Amino acid sequence: MGDTKTEKAIVEVSAKDVQESNHILRKLYEEMRRIKPINWQFSTYRKENNIFLGYTNLGDLWIHYKTKGIIDKIGFLRCNKEDQGLIEAAIKEADSNHEKMLCYSVRAEFFITTAVLSEMAKDQIHIVGEKVDDFNSKIIVTFNVNAYGDYDVNYVVKQKVNYLRLLLSIYTNMAFDYPRIWISNGEQDIPDIFWSGYDEEWIDFFYDSTGKENAVLLPDFFTLFRYVLNHDCYSKNMRLVLNAAQDFFCAVLMKKRLIEDGDDILPGIVDTINTMLISALEPLSCIGKEKPQICPACGNTIYKISSHIRELCKEYLGEFLAKEIVNRGYKNRSIFLHEGNARTNEFRCGNCYPQLDPISKNEIMWVTPLLENNFFDYVSYIIRKKIHDLLLTPGSLDE
């Protein structure tokens, strides 16, 4: 028998920018679910001004644009005749009503093994810590999101909660596993709860004014997460901030996993963590810099990352620590990435066996791979201070 899917449904849409284009697509996916449960085979490619998104059981989905980032047509090829009218109606509904969203309240519970957080609320974001037992506590974060329906809200919450994990990490130096989530219909009003006791110059954890083991977050955290909640597309500066937070979070998470399974303290694994940690400074070092030049000989981009990182570290940590981070941390990162040489090739054996490094011949190899623990404090401090300075200038995150 031949293919019975011979119809097509093509509808013009009126997006004005990338964010609106994506909102139309999200609204369409919600509408598609109203027709039937959707199965996807994601398989995207671009041909001229057409972008193929993938195969679905409603048909083969593609979009068309005249200007990059602005969709002007959405089409389904190879769809069933009985679905054709429903698909066209779904596209029209997505185009006409993508500005109308529903409100949802989200509660995220993170389990941690360190100090309890004080109760704080700002910018419609509420955080409180609770003691679970003598060794464990949890952080409860409540906030609101907008979405097109029960299908779309799951996508939105996944995006926002994972960004929340990144931001919590740089403001606490802790790794956060994915939390337990509760989603409720309707918006929850969250009045501000003011707090004190934080010190913007302090590198480690903060404690509230009572002196109890109830840590507090910098107000910048709430401002930054509010920005994440308010936007679906991010400017270059905000993207660089989130990239730095992502690299730092990955380093902290890998460190947590490594400590939980001590058998994997191996050359390469430890160096990957140290490399990810130092790499978190690279996105920040690009903020405010001119567009990189192109090498006339090879055509590659000239980033000057090492000098930019030195400037960034010197600005917030001073000359001594800047040299330490660049001359040791960034140097070891480059050697590991370009040549694969770990800081040491010695495996931990439970005893101390110092020996000459066969490569340098005038240095002693580390007897076991070592995490750059102090660097975790330095890097998160730089990220927080850079964010604080950016927030002092209105609109800087939108550049």
Domain spans of the chain? 7-97, 102-232, 237-398
d(CA 100, CA 133): 44
Beta carbons within 8 Å of 375's beta carbon, 6+ residues apart:
274, 277, 278, 325, 329
- Residue type for position 148: Y
Given a contact cutoff of 8 angstroms between Cβ atoms, the answer to whether 14 and 95 are in contact is yes
What is the total residue count of the chain?
Answer: 399
Per the CB < 8 A criterion, the answer to whether 104 and 184 are in contact is yes
In this prediction, residue 2 carries a pLDDT of 45
Residue 361 one-letter amino acid: K
| Tokens, residue 348 | 């931990």
The burial of 302, by beta-carbon neighbours within 10 Å (0-12 exposed, 13-18 middle, 19 or more buried), is given as exposed
Residue 124 vs residues 127, 360, 371: alpha-carbon distances, Å: 10, 56, 38
State the pLDDT at residue 354: 84
Cα–Cα distance, 347 to 345 (Å, whole number) = 6
User: How far apart are the C-alpha atoms of 29 and 273, rounded to whole Å?
Assistant: 38
pLDDT digits 0-9 by tens, 12-55: 999 999 999 999 999 999 999 999 888 889 999 999 999 999 99
64 conformational bin, left if phi > 0, alpha if psi -120 to 50, beta if neither: beta
Q: Closest by alpha carbon to 255, among 238, 235, 270, 234?
A: 270
CA–CA separation, 19 and 291 (whole Å): 24
- Condensed to tens digits (0 to 9), the pLDDT of residues 64-98 reads 999 999 999 999 998 888 889 999 999 999 999 99
Residues 228-285 have pLDDT tens digits of 999 998 989 999 999 999 999 999 999 988 888 776 778 878 888 888 899 999 999 9
pLDDT of 364 > 60? The answer is yes
DSSP 372: -
7-97 CATH choice from 1.25.40, 3.30.160, 1.10.443, 3.40.50: 3.30.160
